[in-house]
Amino acid sequence: MHFRLILFFNLVINLNAQTGSFPDCKSGPLSTYPICDQSLPSHQRASDLISRMTTDEKITQLVTTAAAIPRLGLPKFEWWSEALHGVAYSPGVSFGGDLPAATSFPTPINLGATFNLSLVYHIASIISTEARAFNNEGRAGLVFFTPNINIFRDPRWGRGQETPGEDPFLTSQYVYSLINGLQRGEDERYLKIAADCKHYAAYDLENWNGTDRFHFDARVSDQDLIETYLPSFESCVRDAKVASIMCSYNAVNGVPSCANKFLLQTIARESYHLDGFVVSDCGAVSTIMNSHHYTSTVEDTVAVALHAGTDLNCGDFYSKHTQQALYNKTIVEADIDQALQRSFNVLVRLGYFDPPEQQPYRKLSHADVDTAETRKLSLHAAQQSIVLLKNTNKALPLNLNQLMNKRIALIGPTANATVLMQGNYYGKAPFLIDPINGFQAVTQGYSINISFAYGCKISNVDQSGFAEAIELARLSDIVIFFGGIDQSIESEGHDRTSIALPSVQLALLEQLEKVVRSPLHVVIMSGSSLDLTYIRDSSQYDSLIWMGYAGQAGGLAIANIMFGQYNPGGRLPITIYPASYVDAVSMFDMQMRPSPMNPGRTYKFYTGQAVFEFGYGLSYTTFSYSWYNDSMNSIFSIEFLMKNNYDEKKVRLHLYRVNVTNTGEVAGDDAVLAFITPPKTSFNDQTPPIKKLFGFERVRLDVNEMTQVFFPLNIDALLTVALDGSKWLEPGSYKIIIGKQHIHTVQLQGQPTRWS
């Protein structure tokens, strides 16, 4: 979906959306029919309702702006609402009246950096509460096209900010917690809201080198599909039981995603057991014919989409052409019924047809939106997500008492950022605290002068602001540069060609170096990787922080961290590559493993030297790890494991216990990451992963405090994925790495054996 269209849709469609209207099952036309009988299974209720519609009426329900059917008492229904990191602008959402705003949390890439699943769940629960409150007051729908769980495989991708990062395991864990927070609440009878996992599948290109997402054919090996591109969707569908998934614009191996029966039927429904509907990305049904040229007529296009399992069309292709497909007999009415049964079943599960007085979610109101709790949580999440990348000689935190009567200069194009901190797919925030206001709030009462000079724009050759910035830096005791990128550089529909820091910002920094009284501090706002080698390596810079797009309280969060009110504990959910990476591999190359034309993607396969590694992040304190040396089996027989037919994801071989101790001088958080390093030689894989994440836990510890962190080792962490997508147990030594510390080795003995 193209975000630039959303504001237009928000103005036009919401005038008549009736998103808060519900059918009347007490005295309305449906009241005596099975759809209103709560004792019946949801599928049966939905099927009966559909059977009472005429063919023309059914067709009006196949699109996201579904028409009212007055004779049945069905109001108009808008399926398309958004809530990526807070209730957001979209056709189904409007702000105003008693609901002028919704809590704007940090973007998903920030939430990935927290490595905190309980935080993700808590935020999702708040979002679904606010979403229901909006719905109850007629300002949102019940179905939200979120989350984006595509793997952030290439730093140039404009929508990587919408994801929790580059790692399939992290993304799978994230989506499980998120979907549970969005869909499950205090009343297990009903979905709290219906979420939608997108974009299925292998979607992570917008517009690069003359090819856009509408025309891109992602050529993906079975190995990469099973190992990298599909695990997050398996977690979303099979484990979290999401209500819907969205098929993407791109084709996969020659077949458009929304016409791809193998992806939608064989994998999503038969293997993952999707019990819900598939919605197309907006306009994606038409691209089957118009962009991919997979079909040549509109009736064939309707047929391949419906037969593949695309139940709901975001757009108007179905409403325009389904009748013609019926006339030409490329489909039969049962195809329409099946699609509607899947979508209306979700409406039944949402309580759409049930009395409001028995549903706690129907009682939520504007009083449950933008509360003291949500404001506190948005700040807490922002602080947890910020990553300290450099801190020479403990230059940070800045000491408030030592800076009395001093002058701090905030210089750079993101120092006064507001909406920029919301990234994309955002809504109206109740407030936006920019860094300037954040610094002023923290230093209030300390007689510290906070001054600001813009210096330059994000990306522009104009240097007219340099002089003011340089003069301010010359007069100041501390200089903090706020740089980065914005939605003009990375966004939906727009990929990057460079991952270097914009040249005008680097030029300004070089000028500031000449006049500052002490080394500079740098804060970067971005939703993706920027080559920060120069700042990392130069003695002219004491500290470097990545703050992503930190949401409504981002400015206060960064101020709290820089002045030591909060000890940073975020870790990078992405690899930060050197700028030369973009010249080494094409964005069209979907292969994860290295090749003569590809240095490898993500920390699992990248063969070059990263600027900062996945999982990197500093703290104002130090932590030590030690293995709790309990009795355990370090040697496993492949034959024994096969005979016992263990479930690869659920059956545990061992539970590692690791002691984590705060050995520093201040309390702080540690994101403890557990990796497994497979044998370097493999029977089935020419290039095994360098390492792969199999567990993580964020803990908070006081000085000298110790806690135990538990990491279950399941069989799936030991499996090798072959080129054909099959999974194998292979003999060899598997090293368990906590952080960078090798704590144990698991030996598998026997012959390579196919697991599945």
Distance CA 258, CA 735 (A): 41
Looking at residue 651, its pLDDT comes to: 65
pLDDT at 17: 39
Residue range 187-205, pLDDT digits in tens: 999 999 999 999 999 999 9
pLDDT value at 9 more than 50: no
Q: Do residues 409 and 310 both lie within one domain? A: no
In a domain, 102, yes or no: yes
pLDDT for residue 652: 72
How would you class 337 by CB atoms within 10 Å of its CB: exposed for 0-12, middle for 13-18, buried for 19 or more?
middle
Is the bond leading into 366 cis (omega within 30 degrees of zero)?
no
Final residue in a domain of this structure, among 592, 615, 641? 592
Residue 75 has pLDDT above 50, yes or no: yes
The one-letter amino acid code at 580 reads: S
**According to DSSP H, which parts of 658-744 are helical?**
none
Is-catalytic flag, 281? yes
Is 655 found in the same domain as 584?
no
- For residues 438 and 557, the answer to whether their CB atoms sit within 8 Å is yes
Last residue of a domain, one of 323, 354, 385: 354
What is the distance between the alpha carbons of residues 669 and 516, in angstroms, rounded to a whole number?
Answer: 32
How high is the pLDDT of residue 21? 86
**Least trusted range by pLDDT, from 133-142, 632-641, 668-677:** 632-641
Q: How far is CA 223 from the centre of its chain?
A: 23
- Shared domain for 389 and 297, answered yes or no, is no
Q: Please give the pLDDT value at position 630.
A: 63
How many residues in the chain?
756
CATH of the domain at 635: 2.60.40.10
| 195 and 247 inside one domain | yes
Same domain, 586 and 666: no
Min mean pLDDT across 1-15, 41-55, 455-469, 660-674 is at 1-15
747 and 636, same domain (yes or no): yes
- Report the alpha-carbon distance of residue 540 to residue 547 in Å, rounded: 21
pLDDT for 111-129, tens place per residue?
A: 999 999 999 999 999 999 9
Whose tokens are 């990796």? That residue is 675
Confidence tier at 750 by pLDDT (50, 70, 90) = very high
> Which pLDDT does position 14 carry in this prediction?
40
Is there a single domain that holds both residue 290 and residue 389?
no
The mean pLDDT value for 386-398 works out to: 98
Residue 315 sits in the same domain as residue 447: no
pLDDT recorded at residue 653: 80
- CATH code for position 69: 3.20.20.300
Among the listed residues 217, 224, 281, 335, the single catalytic one is 281
Residue 429 sits in a domain of what CATH number? Answer: 3.40.50.1700
CA-to-CA separations, 598 to 201, 501, 705, in angstroms, rounded: 22, 23, 45
Q: How many domains does the chain have?
A: 3
Contact in structure between 276 and 143 (CB atoms under 8 Å): no
* Strand pairing category for 668-677 and 732-738: antiparallel
Return all residues near 414 (Cβ < 8 A) that are at least 6 apart: 420, 435, 458, 482, 483, 484, 486, 523, 525
> Which of 571, 592, 613 finishes a domain?
592
Q: Is residue 117 part of a domain?
A: yes
Looking at residue 641, its pLDDT comes to 84
Are 278 and 416 part of one and the same domain? no
Q: With a cut of 60, say whether residue 502 has pLDDT above it.
A: yes
Distances (CA, A) of 12 to 5, 16, 94: 11, 8, 11
For residue 704, pLDDT beyond 60:
yes
Return mean pLDDT, the chain. Answer: 95
pLDDT of 740 reads 81
What is the C-alpha radius of gyration for the chain, rounded to an integer number of angstroms? 26
User: With 90 as the cut, is the pLDDT of residue 346 above it?
Assistant: yes
Domain assignment of residue 366, yes or no: no
Q: Is residue 445 left, alpha or beta, with left meaning phi > 0 and alpha meaning psi from -120 to 50?
A: left
Neighbours of 740 (CB within 10 A): 10
**20 shares its domain with 127:** yes
**What is the pLDDT, as a whole number, of residue 655?**
85
Same domain, 140 and 107: yes
Residue 606 within a domain:
no
Q: Are residues 328 and 413 in the same domain?
A: no
The domain in which residue 583 lies consists of 372-592
Q: With respect to residue 367, please indicate whether it lies within any of the assigned structural domains.
A: no
CB atoms within 10 A of CB 307: 16
Q: Is residue 222 part of a domain?
A: yes
Does residue 323 form part of some domain? yes
Least confident of 27-31, 632-636, 654-658: 632-636
- Is position 712 within any domain? yes
Scored b (16 or more CB within 10 A) or e, 690-709 reads bbbbbbbbbbebeeeeeeeb
Residues 524-553 have pLDDT tens digits of: 999 999 999 999 999 999 999 999 999 999
